[in-house]
Amino acid sequence: MKLRIGALSAAAAGALAAALALWWWLASGEPGAIVRTAHAQAELVAAREAAEPGATLPVALRLKLAPGWHTYWRNPGDSGQPASLQWRLPPGFEAGAIRWPVPKRKMIGPLANYGYEGEVLLPVELRVPADVKGKVRLTALAKWLVCDPDHCIPESGEVSLELAVGKGGPSRWTPAFEAIELPRPAPEGWKFAARREANRVLLELAGAEEQALHFFPYEEGKVQHAAPQAAERTAAGTRLAIPAAAQPVGEWTRLHGVLATASGRGYEIDIPIEGK
Amino acid sequence: MRTLLALALFTALAAQAASVGAPAPDFTLESVSGGAVKLSQYRGRYVVLEWVNPECPYVRKHYGSANMQRLQKEATARGALWLTINSTRAGHPEHKSPAEMAAWMKRMDAAPTATLLDPKGAAGRAYGARTTPHMFIVDPKGVLVYAGAIDDRRSTDPDDVKTAKNYVRAAMDELLAGRPVSQPSTPPYGCSVKY
């Protein structure tokens, strides 16, 4: 019985939180009001000051996390969960998926998380319909998990942004959008080969100067997230040893993910793994 | 030096981590109701292992919706044993004493065979337990036959339990029907185990 009451009061608290979020949104005349939670500030920001009919509009969920707290990449690592957006858009608008910036690895004891600390912009491309007029309000229910090494808290909020329709210019957020470190294609001239050797995959990289590399897999259950990835110099370039998950999920047939450098750049790779 | 030490600790963890299809590591842990429980004393029966932390929102989802308790009752009614293990280290802000853990389980109307504390994390590390919850099934021969998530809906929303595919129930259905587990390894989700 107690459990029922607990569940009910949790539902009531959820409804109250949703109502408060809605009230906050309705009451705020700000174009992009900041949602403040216990461990984060969240807002919806746009790279342009107006929504141009027929164009693509880069927007982003901007999360500013309290010091010591982190949130997650698309593959969260050993625990956790990536942020999500449920859009409520005017007719004809279409939202793409979140494009995940290059993550960092955060060790939590013997475990590892992939994600972000401090301030992060999670960008999404919106398709603006050609026949839109006047002003538009873009709204999303954002959910994110924040953790510090000791605790995990699911947080959420309704983020919203009102924009004029028109050509417009860059917004005050444009520099922040330009600074987002999205995975880029590997440079021309980099040559990759990967092969399975016992309980690790060896990635051979030729033609690159980069030494300190780390591979972040898109899929869980392939890589042992917390294991060090040893790099060694070879005649042709660099060899990176990537330990396999102790409890693998499915066959590991491709190295698909982001190869990150010490400077925080990331290169998207998708190459077959030879051998068994 | 620190790197070496970290490497040594890590190697020890990885070298021990249980793998599906291999013998499940044995352990002896203190029960919250007193006395020690040794996994191998249950040879001949299916044993479900559940990693728990009452302070974790993912754990609260499954207990708040009574999903975990239902699964515990169902499994034990079918002849399996169920061990709920808390590997939160002593001194961690979310650590529970045996009395606190027992009281929480009682308040939740939980029904495992035993609730065990693993404050040094030895059992957790041996199984490579990473999240709360993280679920494992050991077969009557002592072989690990399932490792992974409780279900396929990574969320803290209790409503998702209704529409989720429960991997533990599906695995028990297959095992009791004499079939191999079709999804023996899935990515676990939840809070990190507080080693």
B52 close to A (CB below 8 A) = no
Confidence tier at A13 by pLDDT (50, 70, 90): low
Burial of B16 (0-12, 13-18, 19+ CB in 10 A): middle
Confidence tier at A11 by pLDDT (50, 70, 90): low
Stated as kind and residue range, the H or E segment containing B60 is helix B57-64
Q: Which of A111, A154, A224 sits opposite B192 (nearest CB)?
A: A111
Predicted local confidence at residue A210, as pLDDT: 79
B184 close to A (CB below 8 A) = no
Mean predicted lDDT score pLDDT of chain A: 91
8 A C-beta contact, residue A44 and residue A173 = no
How far apart are the CA of A109 and the nearest CA of chain B, in angstroms? 6
Cross-strand partners of A95:
A126
Predicted local confidence at residue B16, as pLDDT: 56
How far apart are the CA of B65 and the nearest CA of chain A, in angstroms? 7
Confidence tier at A111 by pLDDT (50, 70, 90): very high
Confidence tier at A208 by pLDDT (50, 70, 90): confident
Summarize pLDDT for A216-262 with one digit per residue, the tens: 999 999 999 999 999 999 998 999 999 999 999 999 999 999 999 98
A35-41 contact pairs (CB < 8 A, 24+): A35/A142, A35/A157, A35/A158, A35/A159, A37/A155, A37/A156, A37/A157, A38/A66, A38/A153, A38/A155, A39/A65, A39/A66, A39/A69, A39/A146, A39/A153, A39/A155, A40/A64, A40/A65, A40/A66, A40/A69, A40/A71, A40/A144, A40/A146, A40/A155
The identity of residue A257, as a single letter, is G
Share of chain B above pLDDT 70, in %: 92
Nearest CA in chain B to A222: B187
Q: Do B195 and A153 touch (CB under 8 A)?
A: no
Summarize pLDDT for B88-114 with one digit per residue, the tens: 999 999 999 999 999 999 999 999 999
Burial of A172 (0-12, 13-18, 19+ CB in 10 A): exposed
Predicted local confidence at residue A12, as pLDDT: 59
B19 close to A (CB below 8 A) = yes
Q: Which of B7, B14, B131 sits opposite A224 (nearest CB)?
A: B14
Q: Is residue B14 predicted with pLDDT exceeding 70?
A: no
Predicted local confidence at residue A184, as pLDDT: 97
Predicted local confidence at residue A7, as pLDDT: 45
Predicted local confidence at residue B33, as pLDDT: 96
- Rounded to whole angstroms, the Cα distance separating B94 from B192 reads 12
Predicted local confidence at residue B17, as pLDDT: 80
Q: Do B10 and A2 touch (CB under 8 A)?
A: no
Suggest the residue from A75, A108, A152 to mutate for an interface test with chain B (most B CBs closer than 10 A).
A152
Judge whether A26-178 and A184-274 match in fold. Answer: yes
Q: Is residue B15 predicted with pLDDT exceeding 80?
A: no
Where does B18-192 sit in CATH, by number? 3.40.30.10
Name the DSSP class of B39.
G
Confidence tier at A119 by pLDDT (50, 70, 90): very high
Residue A142: HSE in the Cβ half-sphere, 13 Å Cα cutoff: 30
Predicted local confidence at residue A209, as pLDDT: 80
Neighbour-count burial for A177-195, b at 16+ CB within 10 Å, e otherwise: beebeebeebeeebebbbe
Q: Which of A10, A153, A248 sits opposite B64 (nearest CB)?
A: A10
Q: Do A150 and B130 touch (CB under 8 A)?
A: no
Q: Where are the domains of chain B?
A: 18-192
CATH architecture of A184-274: Sandwich (2.60)
Predicted local confidence at residue A6, as pLDDT: 43
B192 close to A (CB below 8 A) = yes
Q: To which residue do tokens 């960092």 refer?
A: A104
Number of inter-chain CB pairs under 8 A, A vs B = 90
CA A217 from chain centre, in angstroms, equals 13
Q: Which fold has domain A26-178?
A: Immunoglobulin-like (2.60.40)
Predicted local confidence at residue A9, as pLDDT: 53
Residues of chain A with Cβ-Cβ distance to B191 below 8 Å are 79-80, 147, 152
Nearest CA in chain B to A143: B155
Q: Is residue A28 predicted with pLDDT exceeding 70?
A: no
Interface of A with B (CB under 8 A): 2-3, 6-7, 10, 78-81, 108-111, 113, 145, 147, 150-154, 220-221, 224, 226-228, 243, 246-250
Higher pLDDT, A9 or B127: B127
Cis amide prior to B133 (ω within 30 degrees)? yes
Q: Which of A7, A221, A226 sits opposite B64 (nearest CB)?
A: A7
Instruction: Average the pLDDT over B66-74 and give the result.
Output: 98
Q: Is residue B11 predicted with pLDDT exceeding 90?
A: no
**Which pTM does this prediction carry?**
0.89
Instruction: Average the pLDDT over A57-64 and give the result.
Output: 98
Instruction: Average the pLDDT over A68-82 and give the result.
Output: 98
> A228: Cβ–Cβ under 8 A, 6 or more apart, which residues?
B7, B10
Q: Where are the domains of chain A?
A: 26-178, 184-274
Confidence tier at B118 by pLDDT (50, 70, 90): very high
Q: Which of B55, B107, B187 sits opposite A249 (nearest CB)?
A: B187
Q: Which of B125, B147, B191 sits opposite A247 (nearest CB)?
A: B147
Predicted local confidence at residue B9, as pLDDT: 46
Q: Do B192 and A243 touch (CB under 8 A)?
A: no
Mean predicted lDDT score pLDDT of chain B: 93
Q: Is residue A211 predicted with pLDDT exceeding 50?
A: yes
Q: Is residue B141 predicted with pLDDT exceeding 80?
A: yes
